[in-house]
Amino acid sequence: MARGSAGESALHRHLRVLDAFDALRPFLTLGEIAAVADMPPSTAHRIVSELTTEGLLERMPDRTYRLGVRLWEYASRTPGALGLREVARPWLAAAHSRIRQHVQLGVRAGADILFVERMSAPDAVVNATLIGGRIPLHASSSGLVLLAHAPEGVIDQVLAAGMRAYTPRTITTGPALRAALRSIRADGFAVTAGHIHLESRGLAVPVRGPDGTVYAAMGAVIPNDGSSETAVIEILRVAAAGVTRSLRDAYAAGTDADAALHGPRPDAGVSARSWEYIAALDARAR
């Protein structure tokens, strides 16, 4: 039975429809949307029509729907993740050229890690990461790095929600989680061997902003074959330090306080002359 909407805002109902879509379900019929969003078909039909009119959903020739490109436009204006992604991409690519498995960049989104960039090799080991995808903080090396540097309230939130076990090696208890976080703070990196897939091993280091706070985590996923992790961790550390320097350069015209407050701007990967021209075009259009 579809749940009622008493006490639920119109915005929340619209978000439930958008949340019905994911990487495994990119195309949905109206009936499927209603079922996944857990709402009456009539309500789903009205909301889908509104979202389609505004370009947030698109109707396909076979009468299925997909997320609209207007959502991508909004996402492209998000300073915190995309500005960081632009700055970090060259360093991530340099790390990938040496590690030749998976490398990825993630930021904290509540009790999850949200991956904003990923680079992989065709024959790389199994990895559950998708760009724009989330994994609970406790389960991945990158998530644990972010959790280790998060406020205590976030750790309490993770513990209260319960920790999903992906494999027998996933951290699922409070004492084990707190012990792992202490080690990460002391060592400056995280290693999770077989925590999401038994054949895979995650390694991650923090990426710090100009003010020293942890902005993101840079990680690699490599075979869980018992080989030494030292070289991969050092590559990640060098790349993360390069991102920090690039972030500092991106804010050279501002202040560290600005960086701490707002995070990387979306123009961080744009040359100064190009950005000046874009701003001039905008001024003329107003």
How confident is the model at residue 262, as a pLDDT?
53
In a domain, 174, yes or no: yes
In a domain, 1, yes or no: no
How confident is the model at residue 79, as a pLDDT?
57
- pTM of this prediction? 0.75
How confident is the model at residue 83, as a pLDDT?
73
**Residue 253 CB-half CA count within 13 A:** 6
Judge if 87 and 38 occupy the same domain: no
Of the candidates 138, 146, 142, 184, the residue with the CA atom closest to the CA atom of residue 162: 138
Judge if 189 and 94 occupy the same domain: yes
Judge if 102 and 244 occupy the same domain: yes
How confident is the model at residue 8, as a pLDDT?
75
Element (H or E) spanning 222, and its range?
strand 214-223
Q: How far is CA 163 from the centre of its chain?
A: 19
Judge if 65 and 94 occupy the same domain: no
How confident is the model at residue 263, as a pLDDT?
53
pLDDT by residue for the chain (286 residues), tens only, comes to 455 555 678 999 999 999 999 878 899 999 999 999 999 999 999 999 999 999 999 999 999 999 998 887 777 666 555 578 888 999 999 999 999 999 999 999 999 999 989 999 989 999 988 888 899 999 999 999 999 999 989 999 999 999 999 999 999 999 999 999 999 999 999 999 999 999 999 999 999 988 889 989 999 999 999 999 999 999 999 999 999 998 887 765 454 445 445 555 555 555 667 767 677 777 777 6
Which strands make up the sheet holding 214-223, listed edge to edge?
134-136, 112-120, 102-109, 214-223, 200-208, 190-193
3-state class of 92 per DSSP?
Answer: helix
In a domain, 19, yes or no: yes
CA dist., res. 197 & res. 9, Å (int): 39
> Residue 38 maps to which CATH number?
1.10.10.10
Count the domains in the chain.
2
Query: Could you list the residue range(s) of the whole structural domain that residue 153 is in?
Result: 78-262
> Residue 157 maps to which CATH number?
3.30.450.40
**Cβ–Cβ under 8 Å, residues 177 and 158:** yes
